[in-house]
Amino acid sequence: MSFSSDVKSELAKTENLLPCCFHAQVYGLVLFAHFSKYNLSITTENTDVFDLYSSYINDYCGVNTYISDGSNKKLTAYVKTDEEKSKVFEKFGHELKEPTLRINRANISEECCASSFLRGVFLACGTVTAPERSYHLEFVVPYKKLSLDFIHFLEELGLSPKYINRKGNHIVYFKDSESIEDILAIIGAQEASLYVMGIKIEKDVKNKVNRKLNFELSNINKTVDAANAQVEAIEFIEKKCGINSLPDNLQEIARLRIENPEASLRDLGQLLDEPLSRSGVNHRLAKIVSFAEKLKAGG
């Protein structure tokens, strides 16, 4: 099972809701599946969601559902006659011949009902990607104005959804981990919310470690390259005119660098008869490299 399917199965087992919240959850699930005169149904691969929808229509709305096996392991539960559809519509204050489907706020009567309504919506048309792959949660809403109402509802909860039309479907989505954590917490998927948070922390730690390692590796490479350039310069001087041709204060550091090609500047400074700081050693070695470059140029 996918991460999204696991979350839905967990949510489908939510119990002990207040009557007003239970009504709001049923409304969210039924409204955002397919809710029209022509198609009052749900199609899903998740058997828990399928059973929940069927029980809501049968037991709560008092209407029979019919079942058909779809392709690709999908199940469909649907209401057949206009009379039965009209009964479901009336349960939630809608009319079968409504020209435009909108959210009827009377079904979300109390402040406590918002989370239950959103839970129902997620069960009907929501999906969430496993956080190891990416941060993405979306709702595939069947109707344009319904999607606009839903966006406004989410904004009232302090969320900032994005919208895109994908092949005729109205997609309301989130791609930031904080919003996904918040939504999962709001709808009661606490374990999933904490899991997303944990994966995010793990990713952040790995990224920080990688950045630190890359930085240190870059510094090591720069140090090695600089040391190689210094050794090459000293060897050229030795071959061309001898280290004794260098000023007295550079000869000792030149010999130490040849004898200790992998030593750091700080370590080289401590090997001198009169110890020098890292910057002092670097300054002398830079003079030696400059001396070699002048020799190469014939200066």
CA angle 119-52-153, nearest 5°?
20
Q: Any idea which of 171-180, 219-228, 253-262 has the lowest mean pLDDT?
A: 219-228
Segment 194-204 mean pLDDT: 83
**Neighbour tally for 226: CB within 10 Å:** 15
CA distance 235 to 61: 92
Is the domain of 38 the same as that of 179?
A: yes
Q: How far is CA 228 from CA 233, 271, 287, in A?
A: 9, 19, 15
This prediction has a pTM of 0.72
Residue 77 pLDDT more than 70?
yes
Identity at 170, one-letter amino acid code = H
Segment 55-63 mean pLDDT: 94
The total domain count for the chain is: 2
Within-domain flag for 199: no
Domain residues for the domain of 38 are 3-188
> Binning pLDDT at 50, 70 and 90, where does residue 69 land?
low
Residue 162 pLDDT more than 60?
yes
pLDDT score of 71: 62
Q: Which of 180, 175, 205 has the alpha carbon at shortest distance from 192?
A: 180
Is the domain of 82 the same as that of 177?
A: yes
Beta strand 137-141 with 126-128: parallel, antiparallel or unpaired? antiparallel
> Binning pLDDT at 50, 70 and 90, where does residue 280 land?
confident
The pLDDT tens digits of the residues spanning 97-153 come to 887 889 999 999 899 999 999 999 999 999 999 998 889 999 999 899 999 999 999
Higher per-residue pLDDT: 219 or 188:
188
Q: Which of 139, 152, 22 has the alpha carbon at shortest distance from 91?
A: 22
Is the domain of 121 the same as that of 259?
A: no
Segment 239-248 mean pLDDT: 84
**Neighbour tally for 88: CB within 10 Å:** 20
Within-domain flag for 206: no
Is the domain of 43 the same as that of 182?
A: yes
Is the domain of 151 the same as that of 28?
A: yes
Is the domain of 64 the same as that of 163?
A: yes
Q: How far is CA 271 from CA 105, 257, 275, 299, in A?
A: 81, 10, 7, 31
At which of 188, 205, 238 does a domain end? 188
> Binning pLDDT at 50, 70 and 90, where does residue 216 land?
confident
CATH assignment at residue 137: 3.10.28.10
Is the domain of 100 the same as that of 16?
A: yes
Is the domain of 7 the same as that of 102?
A: yes
Within-domain flag for 34: yes
Is the domain of 13 the same as that of 62?
A: yes
**Neighbour tally for 230: CB within 10 Å:** 23
pLDDT score of 70: 60
Is the domain of 12 the same as that of 68?
A: yes
Phi, psi at residue 208, to the nearest 5°? -65, -40
Is the domain of 32 the same as that of 180?
A: yes
